[in-house]
Chain A
Amino acid sequence: MQNALLIGLSRQVALGRELDVIANNIANLNTSGFKSDGAVFEEFISPTARADNFLIPDRRVSFVQDRATWIDLSAGALERTNNPLDVAVDGRGFLVVQTPRGERYTRNGGLQINSNGELVTAEGYQVLGESGPITFQPKDQQITISSDGTISVREGENAATESQRGQLRLVSFDQPGMLQKDGTSLFSAPPNIVPQADKTSRVIQGTIEKSNVRGVVEMTRMIEVTRSYTQIATLLSQQADLQRSAIEKLAEVPN
């Protein structure tokens, strides 16, 4: 009879985790380039007692275990901002960012220029081009980023000459599910996952990829989580009642 309590408890722990995941998704409803997380549960079957110890085989008890969270890498909605330094990646590609901890990957294309003229993320990390960081000159005008990521500017008298400042490096992964979230809109790849140059993705200038969190879906999941949590709480209290009445009944001393 104790098992029912423990099984209920395992489900509640898992539901608590799932709510944490949902809360993080909803908190990032407006974070550019954010990819939502989902939770996966599995059945954990407790090991049975050895069969030859008992006449009747022991019943197997199954618990709930949260096995994994997975990243939903589907594209978010594209918002037109008309800011020349906003880029969205159409396809599976990621922008490559140089951080002090090594190369990281991002879909958040809200880029900036720092005081050295380098193209950086909002955090100030360099965005890498095919040949290292991309640097602009102070007098560069009309930055245009073509769909293959080539960055060109107009310079000189009356902005007559066009020059190139580099090409954004786009990479994709064979197993994007292995990517890890690193916070600050960045993803990191485990050492055995090698980024591959992505020639199929397109860069769209003047647009930004919004978060792919769907508010309605998250709300529904949240209601589901709270309802099942309350149901299990009811179940647990019924179990407790059952135990109490059993104890009372059994302990009753006949007159």
Chain B
Amino acid sequence: MRALHTAATGMMAQELNVQVISNNIANMRTTGYKRQRAEFQDLLYEYVSRVGTQTSAQGNILPAGIELGSGVKTVGTPRLMSQGELTQTGKDFDVAIRGEGFFKILLPDGRTAYTRDGSFELDAQGRLVTAQGNLVQPSITIPQNAMSVSVNTQGQIFVTIPGSNTPSQVGQLELSIFVNKAGLQSIGDNLYLETPASGAPQNGNPATDGFGNLQQGFLEQANVEAVSEISDLIAAQRAYEMNAKVISAADQMLSATSNLMR
């Protein structure tokens, strides 16, 4: 009975849906996290009798055919790259992006990764690194004796050195934008990699044409909305249960048939 397999595809899809939702909820407080959504589509149809088939020599045609669907499939789990809320932390090296763009991060293996998580730190050499210790690109070194550090909305970093009244610029943060942000590949640690689907990055300074501006002392929260995740979770769970009921109904029908033989 086809219904058994159809319902099984439905259960698998809802299981995946719950998995995606639970990951969103688990990352509700992850800086710069972008929520994912499972997208479903129906599977192929079997045309038992095709619509529009001629039923008589007089040219009568079937106004509706018999189409039997074979279930559902997951087509993708794209990320929704909308702006998350900014919360004030007051920390000098916390930088949030308001608008488009990603920070560039150098991975230990030489690849470049992209992130929205601007909770930076300094390493032993005074270089700006992520919480994981990966270098921010282009590399920025803060002098050991710097008294105060300020990052303006254009991404310029100024420090005040003892004995000098005027702050001096020590670097410039750059941002990268992509045509298709949702096409980036997530590799964990709040990092994304460029893919053929995302297109090549375009680099530029913050607060210029098309690039977002920076906000020092703020962090971008996850764009997960608890209420909508929970309601999606309820819908997914109920859909799972209904698919399970279809399986037991098909089972009941099969057993009714097999009980005919005595």
- Residue from the list B6, B66, B210 in contact with A139, Cβ < 8 A: B210
Interface-side segment among B124-132, B137-145, B214-222, B245-253: B245-253
Inside 8 A of B70's CB, which chain A residues have their CB? 24
- Residue from the list A156, A178, A225 in contact with B51, Cβ < 8 A: A178
Mask for A32-55, Cβ within 8 A of B = 1, else 0? 101001011000000000000000
Which residues of chain A from 148 to 164 have any CB-CB distance to chain B below 8 Å in the complex?
Answer: 155-157, 159
CB <8 Å contact, B243 and A27: yes
CB <8 Å contact, B41 and A31: yes
Contacts A19-B1, A30-B13 given; does A82 touch B67 at CB 8 Å: no
Closest chain B CB from A253 CB (angstroms):
26
CB <8 Å contact, A226 and B65: no
Which residues of chain B from 167 to 182 have any CB-CB distance to chain A below 8 Å in the complex?
Answer: 177-180, 182
CB <8 Å contact, B42 and A22: no
CB <8 Å contact, B42 and A181: yes
CB <8 Å contact, A34 and B3: no
**Cα distance A222–B103 when bound, in Å?**
53
CB <8 Å contact, A24 and B6: yes
B71 interface contact, C-beta 8 A: yes
Contacts A31-B72, A222-B246 given; does A22 touch B260 at CB 8 Å: no
CB <8 Å contact, B42 and A183: yes
Interface-side segment among A87-95, A116-124, A166-174: A116-124
- Residue from the list A17, A24, A114, A219 in contact with B183, Cβ < 8 A: A114
- Residue from the list A108, A141, A156, A229 in contact with B99, Cβ < 8 A: A141
Q: Which residue from chain A places its CB closest to the CB of B73 in the assembled complex? A: A184
Closest chain B CB from A182 CB (angstroms):
7
Q: SS class of chain B's interface: helix, strand, loop or mixed?
A: mixed
Contacts A183-B43, A236-B260 given; does A30 touch B236 at CB 8 Å: yes
Inside 8 A of A123's CB, which chain B residues have their CB? 41, 75
- Residue from the list B75, B180, B209 in contact with A122, Cβ < 8 A: B75
Contacts A21-B68, A178-B63, A185-B41 given; does A27 touch B252 at CB 8 Å: no
Which residues of chain A from 99 to 131 have any CB-CB distance to chain B below 8 Å in the complex?
Answer: 108, 110, 112-117, 122-123
- Residue from the list A19, A115, A236 in contact with B3, Cβ < 8 A: A19
A254 interface contact, C-beta 8 A: no
Supplied contacts A19-B253, A30-B236, A69-B66, 12 more A-B pairs, CB within 8 Å: A23-B246, A23-B250, A24-B70, A26-B243, A26-B245, A26-B246, A27-B9, A28-B42, A68-B65, A113-B182, A122-B39, A122-B75
Instruction: List 23 A-B pairs, Cβ < 8 Å.
Output: A15-B253, A16-B1, A17-B66, A19-B246, A22-B3, A24-B42, A24-B70, A26-B243, A30-B235, A66-B66, A69-B68, A70-B64, A115-B180, A122-B78, A138-B177, A138-B202, A139-B202, A192-B52, A219-B245, A222-B246, A222-B249, A225-B253, A233-B257
A-to-B contact residues, CB < 8 Å: 12, 15-17, 19-24, 26-32, 34, 37, 39-40, 66-71, 81-84, 108, 110, 112-117, 122-123, 136, 138-141, 155-157, 159, 177-178, 180-185, 190, 192, 215, 218-219, 222-223, 225-226, 229-230, 233, 236-237, 240
